[in-house]
């Protein structure tokens, strides 16, 4: 018996590939997946059949064409689809810049599954939900400490919804001061998440977008030219998705305040700042954190999530309500005054994610949170140092000075080989890895944005670097293998020609069947 050789440099990976049909194709007439609770004879004898209890014209005339499938087959089908999904638990998921794909502690996933969390109704008497409200309140206090803000709402259920809430508060604030019509402009930067601009536009604002200076910093002179008596507010992330921290941020917020505007902070990129610096000292009036990024709640394929919204004292009365307060030894839900923005989401937001983030903070403490920030930045700078050694890769703008993520460019590699960043992200799938390019528009050409977080070990980072280096070599020596990737994933390259064609796009199975009938 000989030692089995495992000295290959990149993982010899293949994604699960089930060639699984669409669920409708599993239909077998008569099969049942689950039988719902029925009606006792005593009830039927009292009220009669259901048909007699609803208006005749409202009875469903044709049964919905849902498939009929036995229980084990439904389970098998969805388990196969889950195997064909590369959740961050399974791989070195450091390629989703700004998404902060950190370790999701299993204990928190267990804790939320207890009936005393899952079976709470949001409108039950607050006296019967004291444990839940205590968690809300304590997370509020912890986030005030982390940010320097004076009160938090966990009602917004995503970063985008928190941005909408902030834009709404800005509007309500200026209206309360009689300047609602006068101040109709919001300033942001081109590197900001599209939702910063988009949610401000939803609230009727005109958007002014600033481009960076040659070092990649937001341009203070451009900001000075952009502010006026029409300025309602300024929203920005810091660091931006490039990973560059704007050290003059206080000058920016001062300029906006001098013009009468409100400064609100997108803290999606907070993972390198915890315990190091805060929104308050940077001069922000409000900020939000993604609990499903920085605070270790899972991303869940795209939600449910929470955008924890914190504001300074002058803005507390505008927060969506009700707020959780601690008064007379009890936790209570307190209605907000009429001047508040009302509500952005039903009830109190995603309570189980509030619980997860509270549990995570309690698992780390102040020193642990500072370690998160330090190691996230250490991991990122290690990665940065080594990626710049890969042929064809560069990181535009100022050298060094990156915090927790970096936006890189394959421009040199693309110019020299014709292989694009989109090709490379598809080839990464062949190694059980992935990266995200950038928000649109692509200011950095052929972009890729990596954020390792604090969760990965040096070996994990080395695996990722090795895979990218390998693909770079392939681009220079055997570009076709990259351009035609993926080869070891669940499926091969999409033919996307129908996706923008109304005559051919198929958003549902029934639409697909209709549109492909004659063929």
| 8 A C-beta contact, residue 460 and residue 380 | no
| 8 A C-beta contact, residue 148 and residue 279 | yes
Pairing of strands 185-189, 307-311: unpaired
Q: Considering beta carbons, is residue 114 or 228 the nearer one to other proteins?
A: 114
Looking at residue 301, the DSSP 8-state letter turns out to be T
| 8 A C-beta contact, residue 418 and residue 479 | yes
Q: Which of residues 18-37 bind other proteins (CB under 8 A)?
A: 19-24, 31-37
- Is residue 134 involved in binding other proteins (CB under 8 A)? yes
- Is residue 420 involved in binding other proteins (CB under 8 A)? no
Which part of the chain contacts other proteins (CB under 8 A), choosing from 203-211, 227-235, 443-451, 463-471? 203-211
Q: Which of 496, 517, 518, 519 binds other proteins (CB under 8 A)?
A: 496
- State the number of binding residues for other proteins (CB under 8 A): 214
Which part of the chain contacts other proteins (CB under 8 A), choosing from 218-226, 255-263, 408-416, 455-463? 455-463
Distance CA 165, CA 156 (A): 7
Long-range contacts of 248-256 (CB under 8 A, 24+ apart): 248/217, 248/220, 249/282, 249/283, 250/281, 250/282, 250/283, 251/220, 252/218, 252/220, 252/223, 252/283, 253/282, 253/283, 253/284, 254/283, 255/220, 255/223, 255/224, 255/227, 256/187, 256/223, 256/227, 256/231
- Is residue 80 involved in binding other proteins (CB under 8 A)? yes
Q: Which of 111, 220, 325, 333 binds other proteins (CB under 8 A)?
A: 111
Q: Please give the structure tokens belonging to residue 392.
A: 């064809």
Q: Please give the structure tokens belonging to residue 474.
A: 């392939």
Q: Which of residues 240-279 bind other proteins (CB under 8 A)?
A: 244-245, 247, 249-250, 272-273, 275-278
- Is residue 329 involved in binding other proteins (CB under 8 A)? no
The CB-of-3 to other proteins minimum distance in angstroms stands at 26
| 8 A C-beta contact, residue 256 and residue 454 | no
Which part of the chain contacts other proteins (CB under 8 A), choosing from 226-234, 413-421, 425-433, 442-450? 425-433
Q: Considering beta carbons, is residue 415 or 499 the nearer one to other proteins?
A: 499
Paired with 332 in beta bridges are 325
Q: Considering beta carbons, is residue 107 or 415 the nearer one to other proteins?
A: 107
| 8 A C-beta contact, residue 195 and residue 237 | no
Please identify which residue in the block is written with the tokens 């498939």: 67
- Is residue 90 involved in binding other proteins (CB under 8 A)? yes
- Is residue 519 involved in binding other proteins (CB under 8 A)? no
Run of H or E residues at 189: strand 185-189
Which part of the chain contacts other proteins (CB under 8 A), choosing from 254-262, 406-414, 465-473, 489-497? 489-497
Half-sphere exposure of 165 (CA within 13 A, CB side): 36
Question: Residues 289-318 vs other proteins: string with x where CB under 8 A?
Answer: -x-x---x-xxxxxxxx-------------
Q: Which of residues 435-454 bind other proteins (CB under 8 A)?
A: 436, 439-440, 454
Q: Which of 120, 325, 333, 481 binds other proteins (CB under 8 A)?
A: 120
Question: Residues 146-185 vs other proteins: string with x where CB under 8 A?
Answer: x----------xxxxx-xx---x--x--------------
Q: Which of residues 346-405 bind other proteins (CB under 8 A)?
A: 346-353, 355, 358-359, 361-375, 377-379, 381-382, 385, 401, 403
The CB-of-413 to other proteins minimum distance in angstroms stands at 19
| 8 A C-beta contact, residue 274 and residue 357 | no
């Amino acid at each position: 018996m000989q030692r089995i050789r495992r000295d290959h440099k990149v993982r010899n990976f293949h994604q699960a590939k089930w060639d699984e049909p669409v669920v409708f194709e599993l239909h077998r007439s008569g099969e049942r997946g689950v039988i719902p609770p029925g009606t006792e004879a005593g009830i039927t004898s009292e009220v009669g059949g259901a048909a007699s209890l609803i208006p005749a014209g409202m009875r469903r005339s044709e049964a919905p064409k849902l498939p009929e499938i036995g229980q084990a087959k439904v389970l098998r089908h969805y388990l196969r689809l889950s195997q064909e999904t590369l959740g961050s638990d399974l791989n070195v998921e450091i390629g989703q810049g700004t998404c902060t794909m950190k370790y999701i502690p299993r204990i928190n996933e267990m804790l939320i599954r207890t009936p005393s969390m899952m079976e709470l109704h949001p409108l039950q008497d607050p006296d019967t939900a004291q444990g839940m409200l205590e968690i809300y309140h304590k997370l509020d206090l912890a986030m005030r400490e982390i940010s320097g803000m004076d009160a938090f709402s966990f009602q917004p259920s995503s970063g985008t919804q928190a941005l909408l809430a902030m834009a709404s508060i800005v509007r309500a604030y200026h209206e309360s001061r009689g300047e609602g019509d006068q101040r109709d402009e919001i300033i942001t930067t081109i590197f900001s998440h599209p939702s910063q601009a988009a949610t401000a536009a939803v609230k009727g604002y005109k958007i002014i977008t600033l481009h960076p200076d040659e070092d990649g910093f937001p341009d203070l002179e451009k900001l000075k030219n952009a502010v006026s008596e029409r300025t309602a507010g300024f929203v920005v992330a810091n660091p931006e998705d490039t990973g560059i921290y704007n050290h003059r941020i206080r000058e920016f917020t001062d300029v906006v305040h001098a013009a009468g505007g409100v400064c609100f902070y997108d803290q999606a990129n907070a993972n390198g700042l915890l315990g190091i610096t805060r929104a308050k000292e940077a001069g922000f009036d409000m900020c939000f954190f993604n609990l499903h990024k920085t605070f270790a709640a899972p991303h869940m394929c795209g939600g449910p999530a929470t955008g924890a919204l914190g504001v300074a004292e002058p803005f507390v009365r505008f927060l969506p309500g009700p707020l959780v307060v601690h008064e007379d030894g009890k936790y209570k839900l307190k209605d907000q005054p009429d001047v508040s923005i009302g509500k952005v989401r039903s009830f109190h937001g995603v309570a189980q994610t509030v619980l997860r983030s509270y549990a995570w903070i309690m698992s780390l403490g102040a020193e642990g949170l500072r370690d998160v920030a330090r190691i996230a930045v250490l991991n990122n700078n290690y990665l940065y140092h080594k990626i710049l050694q890969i042929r064809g890769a560069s990181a535009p703008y100022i050298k060094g000075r990156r915090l927790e993520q970096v936006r890189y460019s394959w421009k040199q590699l693309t110019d020299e080989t014709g292989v694009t960043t989109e090709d490379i992200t598809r080839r990464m799938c062949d190694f059980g890895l992935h990266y995200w390019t950038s928000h649109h528009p692509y200011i950095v050409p052929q972009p890729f944005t990596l954020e390792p977080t604090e969760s990965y070990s040096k070996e994990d980072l080395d695996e990722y670097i090795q895979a990218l280096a390998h693909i770079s070599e392939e681009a220079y020596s055997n570009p076709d293998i990259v351009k035609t990737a993926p080869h070891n994933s669940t499926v091969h390259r999409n033919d996307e020609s129908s996706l923008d064609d109304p005559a051919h796009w198929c958003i549902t199975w029934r639409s697909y069947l209709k549109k492909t009938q004659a063929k």
